[in-house]
Amino acid sequence: MSGDFHERVLIAGCGKIGTRLGEELASLGEEVWGLRRQRVQLPSPLKGLTADLGVPESLQAIPAGITRVYYLATPNTYTDAAYRMAYVDGLHNLLRVLADQGQTPRRVIFVSSTAVYAQQSGEWVDETSLTVPTGFSGQRLLEAERLLLQSRFPGLVVRFGGIYGRHRNAMLRKVQAGEPCHTEPLLYTNRIHEDDCVGVLCHLGRLASPEHIYLAVDDAPCTQCELMDWLAEQLDRPKPARITAAQSPPRTGNKRCCNTRLKTSGYAFRFPTYREGYQAMLASNRTDGSE
């Protein structure tokens, strides 16, 4: 997809991942525009656009000739209304403005999540598995996925698992705080390091003839207890206590996500499992931020 053609990329929702993605794409010679509500100085050579995806008029400033779009906006709060605004209404507004402007991007990439799966028994899922989310987060994400894939634009959906990294260290803090992990049922967790989020988005954006949906998780779905036990060992802390669903009902689905399609497309993980990822985090001692 890249070749000699000049790429003009729009990153709608240019926050932590978007900014790093923009820097990576710019280093490959692409022109990158980062859109967000707050007027912040994006690192050079990224070009900033101050606009609100909830306010279509503000999107008129999008430059002509956009060749690729990434949609990475996040909701302000954990409510249905905020999720609808950030994922469904914001995407709808953007697609409508691009259409009205006569823009013809060759790819529009929507960042979704594994919350679209409602499976509860630790079963393996892939891009062809049933998506019948019961919670509003998965429902709104799925609605936005369909909005894009049924639009006039060539759409691509990336479903990230739980992101961890320098800016997201909730699991480490849980272990440090001595929180328990779930048994009965054993809860699976599917993770991806934030560096791989950037790598995957860069790869899929530039891939010739991609599929429409990709699951983006590392090679090692594991139980919450396995991960927390391992982290406790690294941190020289006691193993977490065990609790059951009866004591504390888990809030998440329970499935193992398969990354075969992504790897077959040629993506090589920078951190293939949580071990490499957390070891790098611990070594660099940069565990600020939140997940």
Ligand X SMILES: NC(=O)c1ccc[n+]([C@@H]2O[C@H](COP(=O)([O-])OP(=O)(O)OC[C@H]3O[C@@H](n4cnc5c(N)ncnc54)[C@H](OP(=O)(O)O)[C@@H]3O)[C@@H](O)[C@H]2O)c1
Q: Which is nearer to ligand X, 160 or 278 (CB)?
A: 160
Binder of ligand X out of 7, 9, 10, 16 (CB under 6 A): 16
Among the listed ranges 30-38, 148-156, 244-252, 278-286, the one in contact with ligand X (CB under 6 A) is 30-38
163 binds ligand X (CB under 6 A): yes
37 binds ligand X (CB under 6 A): yes
111 binds ligand X (CB under 6 A): yes
113 binds ligand X (CB under 6 A): yes
In the complex, least distance from residue 101 CB atom to ligand X, rounded to whole angstroms: 17
The rounded distance, in Å, linking the Cα atoms of 188 and 256 is: 6
25 binds ligand X (CB under 6 A): no
**Who contacts 231 (Cβ-Cβ below 8 Å, separation ≥6)?**
171, 172, 175, 278
| Residue 143 CB burial class (10 angstroms; 0-12, 13-18, ≥19) | middle
In the complex, least distance from residue 84 CB atom to ligand X, rounded to whole angstroms: 12
Binder of ligand X out of 26, 56, 74, 180 (CB under 6 A): 74
Among the listed ranges 7-15, 23-31, 172-180, 203-211, the one in contact with ligand X (CB under 6 A) is 7-15
Residues that bind ligand X (CB under 6 A): 13-18, 35-38, 52-54, 72-74, 86, 90, 111, 113, 160, 162-163
